[in-house]
Structure 1
């Protein structure tokens, strides 16, 4: 159960209502993360603006792949569930690809290079080798796209932190998924 009550359009502060309504219009519901963030209209606006402004150079499919991978890395069941559902519904990613995304890979060769790079960035918290950067560049990604990959990871880290901290309830109707994060962390000890 989420640690603080989730707002509805009716209970949210006035400044938050247009943002919540935009999510409802665009995807057919208001994700619980945004209902949670509505407690702070400034935080909601900041996260929503970042979400809306990122990743055009990468395309929706690669953006969702990065969100799925980052949720797995950070042990965020809510984001893994939400992005897997949305990626299947809106971008038509296959279950096989989304399972590979969790491990930093993809069935698409170019996306695989982006995911391998993103996985290394996420796992190392940005402490990568020059060879990692050169590999994603050699796969055809521009410097601008590489910056966008890191920006998507940063966005995901932000939402993962909120959801893990506040134990955000899963959205109704989404098939619940769990990360392997705790299993992997336990095996590493």
Structure 2
């Protein structure tokens, strides 16, 4: 059960309401995560701005793959459920690919290189080897894209920590998934 209130758009602070209305426009709903964080308009704006700004060089599919992987690494059932739904519905990712994403792989060779790198960054909290950077570069990623991979992974950590802390209820439209870490 969620540890803090999940306000409706009308119950949210006035400064948060336009951002929440935008999520309705884009997604057709306000996910519980955004509703909960809306209690702090500054936090909601920061999250929304980061989400809008980060990782454009990677493409939406790879960004969703990184979110699925990071949710698995951090044992975040909410984020795993949300990004599996969004990856399938909005990006056309297959169930097979998203299952591989959970372990830092992809059916797409280019995305696989990004995911392998992001997985090492996530699992080792950034303590990686020079060879890891060289490998993702060799796969064709620029330094700017490598920065974006790390930034997208770090952004996922923020949402994972929030949802793990507050035990965010999985929205009814998302598949109720469990990470292997959460099951163990």
- TM-score higher than 0.5: yes
Distance 2:173 2:144 in 1: 36
**Cα distance, 1:38 vs. partner?**
0.8
Distance 1:143 1:31 in 2: 33
Q: What pairs up with 1:1-189 in 2 under 5 angstroms?
A: 1-182=1-182
Deviation sequence 1:134-186 (CA, Å, 0-9, x none): 00000000000000000101110000000000000111121110000145xx6
Distance 2:110 2:52 in 1: 24
Distance 1:172 1:146 in 2: 35
Count of aligned pairs between the two proteins: 184
SS of match in other structure, 1:57: helix
- Structure 1 runs not aligned, ≥5 long: none
SS of match in other structure, 1:14: coil
TM-score by length of 1: 0.96
Distance 1:55 1:30 in 2: 22
SS of match in other structure, 2:58: coil
Distance 1:91 1:154 in 2: 21
TM-score by length of 2: 0.98
**Cα distance, 1:13 vs. partner?**
0.3
Distance 2:142 2:7 in 1: 40
Distance 2:181 2:120 in 1: 15
Distance 1:72 1:169 in 2: 17
Q: Which runs of 4+ in 1 moved over 2 A?
A: none
- Structure 2 runs not aligned, ≥5 long: none
